[in-house]
């Protein structure tokens, strides 16, 4: 029982240190990307890869008001962790360090968004992907842990969970995924209620 309470208490301590302004800034950047039809790419390794997939799911589906209305304006979002054949082909041919940067070379254009989810901030494939995003003049957001690692000083915006425990870092990033999606849904609902951004033109 003591272990359970200690784990939860430490998780809460880290969550209490999160800067709400940093979270709101990320929400507004993603809302702007939705308004302007900018593509959002999400990357991560291990547990962070699962969170990348989950966040892409939440943004793509969880923000919809009427899922069966194909004309409703939607997020253009994809997790680069999900194509196993492509990931393994790239890892085999150009090493795992390049599995995300190579995909961004195919897909990313100026003004797109990259969300890099990383506990250490030092994974080489994340660092290389951020460099490609910088070269392409994309906006880079980091979901970070511990002291932020190398990536902290490379990204444009970040949310930092100040704990070295990878389990709690990933817990916090999962919570952030849900928090951000819920906040976006509220902001989008306000905009959609005005009709300004509710429907896309069907051609």
Helices (H), the chain: 2-17, 20-35, 47-57, 84-94, 101-107, 124-135, 166-194
Mean pLDDT of the chain: 94
Question: What separation in angstroms does the CA of 58 have from each of 23, 50, 91, 134, 154?
Answer: 16, 12, 28, 26, 26
Please determine, looking at this structure, whether the domain spanning 2-63+73-193 carries the CATH number 3.40.50.2300: no
The pLDDT, as a whole number, for residue 84 is 97
pLDDT in tens, 4-29: 999 999 999 999 999 999 999 999 99
Given a cut of 50, whether residue 98 has pLDDT beyond it is yes
Q: Give the confidence band of 194 by pLDDT, cuts at 50, 70, 90.
A: low
Q: Is the pLDDT confidence value at 203 over 80? A: no
pLDDT tier, 140 (very low <50, low <70, confident <90, very high otherwise): very high
Domain ranges, ordered by start, for the chain: 2-63+73-193
Q: How far, in whole angstroms, is CA 152 from its chain's centroid? A: 15
199 — pLDDT class (breaks 50, 70, 90): very low
pLDDT at 125 over 80: yes
23-80 pLDDT tens trace: 999 999 999 999 999 999 999 999 999 999 999 999 999 998 888 888 889 999 999 9
Q: What percent of the chain has pLDDT over 70?
A: 94
């Amino acid at each position: 029982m003591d272990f359970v309470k200690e784990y939860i208490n430490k998780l809460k301590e880290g969550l209490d240190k999160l800067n709400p302004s940093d979270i709101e800034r990320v929400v507004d950047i993603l809302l702007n990307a939705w308004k302007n039809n900018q593509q959002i790419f999400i990357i991560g390794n291990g547990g962070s890869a699962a969170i990348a997939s989950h966040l892409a799911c939440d943004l793509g589906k969880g923000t919809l008001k009427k899922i069966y209305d194909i004309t409703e304006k939607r997020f253009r979002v994809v997790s680069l962790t999900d194509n196993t054949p492509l990931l393994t082909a790239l890892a085999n041919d150009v090493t795992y360090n390049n599995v995300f940067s190579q995909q961004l070379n195919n897909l990313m254009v100026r003004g797109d968004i990259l969300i890099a989810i990383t506990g250490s901030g030092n994974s080489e494939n994340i660092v290389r992907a951020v460099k490609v995003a910088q070269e392409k003049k994309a906006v880079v957001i980091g979901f970070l842990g511990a002291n932020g690692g190398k990536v902290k000083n490379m990204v444009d915006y970040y949310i930092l969970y100040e704990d070295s425990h990878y389990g709690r870092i990933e817990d916090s990033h999962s919570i952030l995924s849900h928090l951000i999606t819920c906040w976006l849904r509220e902001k989008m609902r306000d905009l959609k209620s005005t009709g300004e951004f509710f429907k896309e033109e069907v051609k």
